[in-house]
A and B are shown apart, each in its own frame.
Chain A
Amino acid sequence: MSTSRRDFLKISALGLGAATVGGSAVKAAGKTIFSKDQVNKLMMKRTSTYCEVCFWKCAGWTYSDNDGNIKKIIGHPDDPHCNGRLCPRGTGGVGMYNDEDRLKNPLIRVTGKDGKQTFRDATWDEAFEVIAKGMKKIAKEHGPECVALFTHGSGGKFWGHMLKAYGSKNISAPSYAQCRGPREVAWIGTFGEGLGSPEPLDIRDTKCLVLIGSHLGENMHNGQVQEMSDAIDNGAAIITVDPRFSTVAGKSKFWLPIKPATDIALLLSWIHVLINEDWYDKDYVEKNTYGFDQLKAHVINYTPEWAYGITTIKPDVIRKTAKEMFNASPSVIVHPGRHVTWYGDDTQRLRAMAILNALLGSWGRRGGFYMSDGISIPSFPHPEYPKPTRTWRDAFPGQFNLADLALANGVCDATIPSADRDCSFKGWIVNGTNLIFTLPDIRKTKKAIESLDLLVVIDTMPMEITGYADVVLPECTYLERYDSIRTSRHREPTIALREPAAEPKYNSKPGWWMAKQLGHKLGLDEYFKYNDIEEVLDWQLKQVGSSLEEMKRIGVKKFKRDEDISLYFAKGEEHEFFTNSGKIELYATSFADEGFDPMPKYTAHPEPPEGYYRLNYGRAPMHTFSRTANNPNLTDLMDENVVWVNPKVAKVWELKTGQEVWLENQDGIVSTFSIKVRVTERIRWDSVYMVHGFGHADKKLSRAHGKGASDSELITNVMLDPIMGGTGMRGNFVTFHVDKPSKGGLL
């Protein structure tokens, strides 16, 4: 045996899924800057931050040495998002800072004499000049409303402010209509309020956690994963509904290997059982809900026997799991999930889940959903924003009235010129979101981009979307900049500070600075009446009894809860909800008013044609979307995705673990890159599974380019949610090619 056995260790360190499918061999020796002993001798300086690798925004301390090198990031012990423990992405956030493939200079698209387009390095002033010129032209010719912002992450606040000052409030985030939107609308329709982030789930004290396709633990929503672990210690029962044997399925008392796309049938039969067996919180339902009798009549035929034929889940299992929930009630959570845009009837599926929680009395109860509290920090004083005369909604008259935020896909659709509209979008500002991978149907996104007069991309990394930009602005990473104060709600209100731990590398700059500079070029100085962000943060912090000096010292500050809002409803309390009826609406009057089913119904969805398999996708705990695929620390853990294939399917196609295949979807779209097969019993025979965010086509991403395949590319069939405009993405089916097909993909 040779010492190359280390290869195996390296591979197994890749974590789930990769243990059996290979991966990169041990790379050449990295440059060792310090030995361990040297590091220990150094005095480490610590600066406060909150993480930007995902949306959970855990607070932590960044440790750097005397030479200003960032060495490690450790979770803040007082932060309720992380309790002193960052997840692998947060710990590996240092790789985002060190990534040598980062965007380094502002770039401007230029056309050479030969007609060939290239990017040239530009000064910041030149870049802002080009953007300001473009924006002024759009404002003059079409109105400022024809510029839209797509954003993900902290810097969006500054760009949003700049855009509103300019005269547009078309600010959209793919995290809504491509992700959590349906559950917000369902919760608003039922409980009169949305869930937000982090969701107010009292997982640590729950007795029963029900996961509908949510792969907690693979999606590393830090605080929730921590609390799930506490719940396991406390003996809580986990019920996981998933066609795939997810990590958490392996930790569950009940795993229900449901036939994909049939969840609503299972949920309706659970509602049927709870009502018909009297397994619901009678006092709570009587005092706090509206429409129980209608619901009872509605679900009368949705028996477990009915659901069995649809879901393949046996009736006795449906009854047993319903009983398990009732026994735990009200300390039970039917988890609303996060990425829930699956089949186009997602708002209704989430309504069914909301109804289950209402029947079990878990909303506002210990071990169910707590009532969160937060601190609101006033905006730095600025003049009133101009009032736009149009918004994205005008492109969809009478549609999506229940959507509480802008639809990124709506803005994209409304960019493609139409004779029916007086203005299609002409300018996009894209901050920190790789729209090519985040919006479904790349063909449509590209068509919209073709129609633009101006596309500005702000990012830390070259991404597929940066390749389409007219101007690229290199943002420094979160470890090199200030951002707004984090004010997310939790059991106790907290605020957290992000301050730079190092000078920005290369010629990168923070978002607040860019927005202010562009504002200046646009003649909007009165909206940016401060010299730098420290002035703004200090003023804001002083309004809530803190200061920048204090926050630099403590990082996270806890506040007392509002005395009028208790964490849980008092026993027997009759509560007032922000719905039309003032009650929890089992029968959603707001849905009925808009002409939608006031109570959820089951609709059969298309099934894969012969030889095709439903494309399911999800997360790996060490990656966030497509943004971490080049992070040196995180690619070291997992540098490509694999396609999970059931052994029965593998036998038919003669596929072996580690073999490269190309995937082709129902619309004849072939993956640009091949993907390795993982033959595993953990996936149903009618579907395949891959982790989202791989298969990058940008060659500037030296570690990520061509590694694995992109699920986004294969999602060309979109099942639109008529209620809120969400883009259902799980109605795509793929087949295998063992040899490289002649046709290329969409990237």
Chain B
Amino acid sequence: MRYAMAVDTKKCVGCSDCVVACQTENDVPIGYCRDWVVESTVGTYPQLETEIRSERCNHCDNSPCVRCCPTGASHYSDGGIVLVTKNKCIGCSACIQSCPYDARFTHPDGYVDKCTFCLHRVKKGMEPACVAVCPTKCMYFGDLDDPNSPVSKILKTRKYKVLAPEAGTKPNVYFLI
């Protein structure tokens, strides 16, 4: 089982609903976020292109954050989801430094926090909160080992990219382009 997500940049409007839904689902304190939206524009008026991406932890197969964690708090869980066991975390922030995607932050309670792919929902057969709420339905989630999962199906039919492939992290969040 390998959980993965695909985000359709052609449909995302950057509304940041994914950010609020994550905050209210996961009790992320206001002022912090586990997911966020990036917009990039290239060209000169009127020859322009924009790309809008809802970003989060990439739950990499080869996660530098897991490798560098001195206490084992950062670890792989079900389906390769990268989690932090908060009572093992000493808040050293080595993982924050090592993540090429800036996906982690220190929670005000002192431990490092990040996206969990909403494992608590996924275990119940639900989609992550960001995927479930998205008004443009631009996010696809599922098991890459299951050819019929929404994410497997969409990756078969669309062009995609990953972020910072040069970092060698083997990320599991794909961006449809």
- Chain A residues with CB under 8 Å of chain B are 1, 3, 5-6, 8-10, 12-17, 19, 26-36, 39-40, 71-75, 82, 84-88, 91-92, 94, 217-218, 220, 222, 225-226, 228-230, 232-233, 245, 247-251, 255, 257, 621-622, 632-634, 636-638, 646, 680-685
Interface size on B, residues (CB 8 A): 51
Picked from B15, B23, B44, B55, the residue with its CB within 8 Å of the CB of A622 is B15
Q: When chains A and B are docked, how far (Å) is the Cα of A670 from the Cα of B117?
A: 48
Q: When chains A and B are docked, how far (Å) is the Cα of A443 from the Cα of B138?
A: 45
Given the known interface contacts A16-B39, A634-B20, A636-B30, the answer about A621 and B14 at a Cβ–Cβ threshold of 8 Å is yes
Given the known interface contacts A75-B133, A248-B13, the answer about A32 and B108 at a Cβ–Cβ threshold of 8 Å is yes
Q: When A and B form their complex, which 4 residue pairs have the shortest distance between CB atoms, in order from nearest?
A: A29-B108, A217-B13, A13-B36, A621-B15
Q: When chains A and B are docked, how far (Å) is the Cα of A541 from the Cα of B24?
A: 32
> A255 touching B136 by the CB < 8 A rule?
no
> Shortest CB–CB separation between residue B12 and chain A, in angstroms?
9
5 A-B contacts (beta carbon < 8 Å): A13-B33, A87-B135, A226-B137, A229-B136, A247-B13
Which residues of B have CB within 8 Å of A29?
29, 31, 108-109
Q: When chains A and B are docked, how far (Å) is the Cα of A695 from the Cα of B116?
A: 37
Which label, helix, strand, loop or mixed, suits the secondary structure of the A interface?
loop
Given the known interface contacts A10-B31, A646-B45, the answer about A229 and B135 at a Cβ–Cβ threshold of 8 Å is yes
In chain B, positions 22-79 with a C-beta closer than 8 Å to chain A are: 23-27, 29-33, 35-39, 41, 43-46, 48-50, 52, 55
> A637 touching B132 by the CB < 8 A rule?
no
Given the known interface contacts A250-B48, A634-B20, the answer about A16 and B14 at a Cβ–Cβ threshold of 8 Å is yes
Count of chain A to chain B residue pairs whose CB atoms are closer than 8 Å in the complex: 193
> B31 touching A247 by the CB < 8 A rule?
no
> A682 touching B48 by the CB < 8 A rule?
yes
> A233 touching B11 by the CB < 8 A rule?
yes
> Shortest CB–CB separation between residue B32 and chain A, in angstroms?
7
A92's nearest neighbour on chain B, judged by CB, is B20
> A6 touching B105 by the CB < 8 A rule?
yes
Q: When chains A and B are docked, how far (Å) is the Cα of A28 from the Cα of B43?
A: 38
> A72 touching B24 by the CB < 8 A rule?
yes
Which residues of B have CB within 8 Å of A226?
135-137
User: B120 on the interface (CB 8 Å rule)?
Assistant: yes
Q: When chains A and B are docked, how far (Å) is the Cα of A247 from the Cα of B49?
A: 10
Which of B26, B45, B93, B134 has most A Cβ within 10 Å?
B45
Which residues of B have CB within 8 Å of A634?
20
Q: When chains A and B are docked, how far (Å) is the Cα of A220 from the Cα of B96?
A: 34
Q: When chains A and B are docked, how far (Å) is the Cα of A26 from the Cα of B107?
A: 11
> Shortest CB–CB separation between residue B99 and chain A, in angstroms?
9
B44's nearest neighbour on chain A, judged by CB, is A681
> Shortest CB–CB separation between residue A241 and chain B, in angstroms?
12
B37's nearest neighbour on chain A, judged by CB, is A15
> Shortest CB–CB separation between residue B101 and chain A, in angstroms?
9
Picked from A10, A632, A646, the residue with its CB within 8 Å of the CB of B33 is A10
A5's nearest neighbour on chain B, judged by CB, is B102
Which residues of B have CB within 8 Å of A94?
24
> A251 touching B10 by the CB < 8 A rule?
yes
